Amino acid sequence: MLYAGKWDRAGLDYQALKNQWHVVARADEVSAERPKAVRLLGEELVLWRDGAGQIHAWKDYCGHRGAKLSLGCVKKGEIECPYHGWRFDAGGQCTRVPAHPDQATPSSARLIFRHHAAERYGLIWASLDAPRRPLPVFPEWEDDSFRKVFAGPYRYMGNALRSVENFLDASHFPFVHANLNGDPDAPEPLPDYQVFKDEHGLRTSEISVFQPYGDHRGIPVTARYTYSVFNPTTAYFVKKTGDTERFCTFLNATPVDEAECVIWLIVAINFGADLSEEKILYRQDMVFEQDRLIVESQRPARLPLDIQQEMHVRSDRLGIEYRRWIKELGLRADAPNHAEPRAAALLN
């Protein structure tokens, strides 16, 4: 079945994803006055900023009569429900019931459900449960010799993990990105590579790929790709050309639901000062549109974590390790949360 509907919460993929950070919006999409509705792993969330500008991610729900808080507004640093005007402070405490101003306000238990929120790299991040891993590191973010370009977001009616695996797959270039990243009539074999695993996630050795139709500048290049996976939904590559040229891509695929995702992309580039942002975006938009058709066609929609399913060859090594790693994270999801104190320090 292509569309399996809502996440099966007992599934290992859901278990691996519920307590990790996901990108849910661009930072400038959440203003001081307006809350924003987003969806993550089948849950409806409201994002809003308190008086100090700190971001919050709550269930999009007011326990008085169940209205959506995202339809309300933010006043004096508190979120106001659209239905009866009850207000809640940053801690989730009800501070005002306009119909009964003289009565004590009700306790917030069962009224408000708070998730975890953070802001970094110009993006808003949310985690449904206490995050077990810190916010992913984007190595070039602080490095001024790299120009940053935000691409997307790209919405796929496909599974987030399938889309990340697609991003990590170098042997599809000549076919899906024919005449852009390779030649379907003369595809280059993919050289063998290694995959390493440590506490930061997965990383490959360099993979050389000849791009006959050129890079963003239209210059044919042999590019050396190094892929990393920081989270099941956060992947990254450095594409090296020449001695010093680096084209880096930081990708986050947000699972809206089991068969829908939003891909947030930041490109960091240290060459081609004359290369316009439009040109970079034009190519990214084209590549992600080509990938979209494939990822949306994959079935089952969910990424099979059982290695016995589907068929693998040597060039799929990264995909295999990726599936194994997600399964492992899902199995560990019920173990005591040793990483929590470190991750909690990143919370607002």
Positions in the binding site for ligand FES (CB under 6 A): 62, 64-65, 67, 81, 83-84, 86
Nearest distance from C-beta of residue 288 to Co ion, angstroms = 8
**C-beta of 86 vs 125, nearer to ligand FES:** 86
**C-beta of 83 vs 113, nearer to ligand FES:** 83
Nearest distance from C-beta of residue 22 to ligand FES, angstroms = 26
- Chain centroid to CA 105: how far? 38
**C-beta of 11 vs 63, nearer to ligand FES:** 63
Beta bridge pairs of residue 201: 198
Using the 8-state DSSP alphabet, how is residue 145 labeled? T
Nearest distance from C-beta of residue 287 to Co ion, angstroms = 6
Return the SS3 of 83.
coil
Please spell the DSSP secondary structure of 268-326, one letter per residue. EESS-TTS-HHHHHHHHHHHHHHHHHHHHH-SSSSPP-STTSS---GGGHHHHHHHHHH
Q: Could you tell which of Co ion, ligand FES, none binds residue 260, using a CB distance below 5 to 8 A set by kind?
A: none
Nearest distance from C-beta of residue 167 to Co ion, angstroms = 7
Nearest distance from C-beta of residue 81 to ligand FES, angstroms = 3
Q: List the interface residues with Co ion, window 289-318 (CB under 5 A).
A: 291
Q: Could you tell which of ligand FES, Co ion, none binds residue 291, using a CB distance below 5 to 8 A set by kind?
A: Co ion
Nearest distance from C-beta of residue 80 to ligand FES, angstroms = 8
Alpha carbon distance 284, 266 (integer Å): 10
**C-beta of 88 vs 230, nearer to ligand FES:** 88
**C-beta of 96 vs 332, nearer to ligand FES:** 96
Q: Where are the beta strands (DSSP E) in the chain?
A: 22-26, 36-40, 43-49, 55-59, 73-75, 78-80, 87-88, 94-96, 116-120, 123-127, 147-156, 195-198, 201-204, 207-211, 221-231, 234-241, 245-257, 260-269
Q: Could you tell which of ligand FES, Co ion, none binds residue 26, using a CB distance below 5 to 8 A set by kind?
A: none
The CA-based angle 53-54-60, given to 5 degrees, is 110
Beta bridge pairs of residue 276: none
Give the residues lining the site for Co ion (CB under 5 A). Answer: 291
